Chains A and B, each alone.
Chain A
Amino acid sequence: DAKTTQPPSMDCAEGRAANLPCNHSTISGNEYVYWYRQIHSQGPQYIIHGLKNNETNEMASLIITEDRKSSTLILPHATLRDTAVYYCIVEDQGAQKLVFGQGTRLTINP
């Protein structure tokens, strides 16, 4: 079973920041938080991952709460091409067996 809880859908206006929440209250100390997204009919695409510190790359930022029980993926300036299903995954760093839940369907509106 997926170890995360995400809202099934969200909307965001183009050009605004999209903030996608994820709850992972049972996360253990050696488990990382990964984010992937799946644009319609394509294979999933890696976005970002983190352990306890906030992370930023060219695609997004990941904010993890101090108790690590929840996190937020931030797309700073959402575009129409960011419309996708976003998956938050918690997994042991060595497991490489990603367990996908149903994710959040993010729709970016013009």
Chain B
Amino acid sequence: NAGVTQTPKFQVLKTGQSMTLQCAQDMNHEYMSWYRQDPGMGLRLIHYSVGAGITDQGEVPNGYNVSRSTTEDFPLRLLSAAPSQTSVYFCASSYSSRGQETQYFGPGTRLLVL
């Protein structure tokens, strides 16, 4: 298994540009989520999904959209990038949203918005 994969690893955007961060998992996990991590800070939840076709907002959803058309993929879209969205983005998945399931994290995407 490749686990949780994220692309790209690095991205530089100009203010106002849009882009999609890709996340995929091959473990047949129901639950997937996106976090952002600013320098020196812990992770903050952006959006999450408990299964295909179901998404919900986390702590910091503004400026981001998600969709979950398949079990494997959970892309994160930045609609109009702002410097405040400069961060490291982590995708995570777990087998189920029920019970105390271990979450598996991807390697992260480092985004710089100029």
Contacts and interface: CB of A to CB of B under 8 A. Distances in A.
Q: Please say whether chains A and B are actual partners in one complex.
A: yes
Interface of A: 2, 32, 34, 36, 41-46, 49, 87, 93-94, 96-103
A94 B94 CA distance: 12
B31 A96 contact: yes
B106 interface: yes
A48 to B, nearest CB: 10
Interface in B25-81: 31, 33, 35, 40-45, 48, 50, 58-59
Given A96-B48, A97-B58, A98-B103, A44 B43 contact: yes
Contacts of B103: 36, 44, 46, 96, 98
Interface in B75-105: 88, 90, 92, 94, 97-105
A99 B97 CA distance: 15
B42 A102 contact: yes
B42 to A, nearest CB: 3
Contacts, number: 58
A26 B43 CA distance: 21
Interface residues of B, number: 30
A103 B37 CA distance: 13
A93 B99 contact: yes
B107 A87 contact: no
A97 B100 CA distance: 11
Contact of A97 (B40, B45, B102): B45
A47 B105 CA distance: 13
Nearest to B50: A96
Given A99-B45, A100-B42, A101-B42, A42 B108 contact: yes
B107 to A, nearest CB: 6
B94 A43 contact: no
Contacts of A36: 103
